[in-house]
Amino acid sequence: MTMRTSSLLLAAVAVVAIVAGATAATVGSWEPVDINDPHVQELGRWAVAEENRGEAAGGLTFERVTDGEKQVVTGVNYRLTLEASSSGAKDGRYEAVVYEQDPRSNARKLVSFEPIH
Cα gap 56→54, rounded to integer Å: 6
- In the chain, the percentage of residues whose pLDDT exceeds 70 is 74
Residues 56 and 81 in one domain: yes
Number of domains in the chain: 2
pTM of the model as a whole: 0.73
47 and 83: one domain?
yes
Q: Are residue 18 and residue 63 in the same domain, yes or no?
A: no
- Same domain for 48 and 105, yes or no, is yes
Q: Domain of residue 18: give its range.
A: 1-29
Say if residues 36 and 67 touch (Cβ distance below 8 Å).
no
Give the pLDDT confidence score for residue 25 in this predicted structure: 46
Q: Are residues 94 and 39 in the same domain?
A: yes
Do 63 and 77 reside in the same domain of the chain?
A: yes
Same domain? 48 vs 96? yes
pLDDT over 60 (residue 8): no
Backbone φ, ψ for residue 66 (5° rounding): -105, -15
Q: Are residues 59 and 88 in the same domain?
A: yes
